[in-house]
Amino acid sequence: MRVFILILFLASLSKGFAQEVDKEIATKQSRLAEIEKESVQILDELEGLRLKWIRQQMDQLGYPKSDDALQTVKHIALTLGYSEPDEQAAWVQHMVIPEVEFANVSRTNDFRTDSLVKTGSAEETDYFLKTVADDGELVYDGFGYDRGHLAPSADFRWSQTALSESYFYSNMSPQKPEFNRERWAELESWIRTYVIDFQESVFVITGPVLKLGLKQQGANKVSIPEQFYKIVIDLDGKEKKAIAFLMPNDHCAYPVTGYLTSIDEIEKLTGLDFFSSLDDAQEAKLEAMNTLDGWVHEDNDKFGEVAPLKAPLPKGYFNTLQAKYKVGEKTYICGTVVATKMSRKEAIYLNFDQKYPRNIFYASIWKNNQNNFSFDPEKELLGRAVCVFGKVELYNDQARISVNREEQIIFWEDVEK
Is 172 in the same domain as 234? yes
Are 247 and 101 part of one and the same domain? yes
DSSP state of 383: T
What does the pLDDT look like over 309-322, one tens digit per residue? 888 899 999 999 89
Note the Cα 50 to chain centre separation in Å.
22
pLDDT of residue 324: 86
- Looking at the 3D structure of the chain, how many domains does it have? 2
pLDDT at 3: 57
* Model confidence at 395: pLDDT above 70: yes
Among 64-68, 141-145, 225-229, 369-373, top mean pLDDT goes to 225-229
Whether residue 182 lies inside any domain: the answer is: yes
pLDDT of residue 7: 62
Residue 297 predicted with pLDDT over 60? yes
**Three-class secondary structure assignment of 280-299:** HHHHHHHHHCCCCCCCCCCC
* Helix (H) or strand (E) segment spanning residue 188: helix 184-198
d(CA 35, CA 19): 24
CA distance 145 to 127: 7
Q: Are residues 258 and 347 in the same domain?
A: no
CA 32/CA 36 separation, integer angstroms: 6
pLDDT at 255: 79
Mean pLDDT of the chain: 89
User: Worst-scoring range by mean pLDDT, 3-7, 184-188, 260-264, 365-369?
Assistant: 3-7
Cα–Cα dist 246/209, whole Å: 9
The residue segments making up the domain with residue 240 are 62-288
Q: Does residue 80 fall inside a structural domain?
A: yes
245 & 115 share domain: yes
> Residue 28 pLDDT > 80, yes or no?
no
**What is residue 110's predicted lDDT score, i.e. its pLDDT?**
93
Cα dist from 41 to 30, 34, 37, 99, 297, whole Å: 17, 11, 6, 18, 35
**Do residues 194 and 241 lie in contact, with contact meaning Cβ atoms separated by under 8 Å?**
no
Between residues 184 and 300, which one has the greater pLDDT?
A: 184
State what percent of residues in the chain have pLDDT above 70: 92
In 3-state terms, what secondary structure has residue 166?
coil
Q: How confident is the model at residue 302 (pLDDT cuts 50, 70, 90)?
A: very low
Question: Is 232 found in the same domain as 339?
Answer: no
- Whether residues 116 and 168 share a domain: the answer is yes
Assess contact for 245 and 259: CB atoms under 8 A: yes
Q: Is residue 24 part of a domain?
A: no
Task: Write down which residue in 269, 288, 307 finishes a domain.
Answer: 288
- Residue 381, pLDDT > 70, answer yes
Last residue of a domain, one of 270, 288, 306: 288
Model pTM score = 0.74
**Would you say residue 156 has pLDDT above 80?**
yes
Tell me whether residue 111 is in a domain.
Answer: yes
Whether 201 and 266 share a structural domain: yes
Whether residue 345 sits in one domain with residue 219: no
User: Do residues 279 and 356 both lie within one domain?
Assistant: no
Q: Quick one: 240 and 284 in the same domain?
A: yes
Statement to judge: residues 338 and 227 lie in one domain? no
| CATH code of residue 173 | 3.40.570.10
Q: Which one has a higher pLDDT value, 70 or 38?
A: 70
Alpha carbon distance 374, 119 (integer Å): 71
Task: Mention every residue, 6+ apart, whose C-beta is less than 8 A from residue 377.
Answer: 340, 348, 350, 365, 370, 403, 409
Are 82 and 154 found together in one domain? yes
CATH of the domain at 366: 2.40.50.140
Residue 373 in any domain: the answer is: yes
What local confidence, expressed as pLDDT, does residue 36 receive? 75
Give me the pLDDT at residue 304, please: 60
Range 22-37 average pLDDT: 77
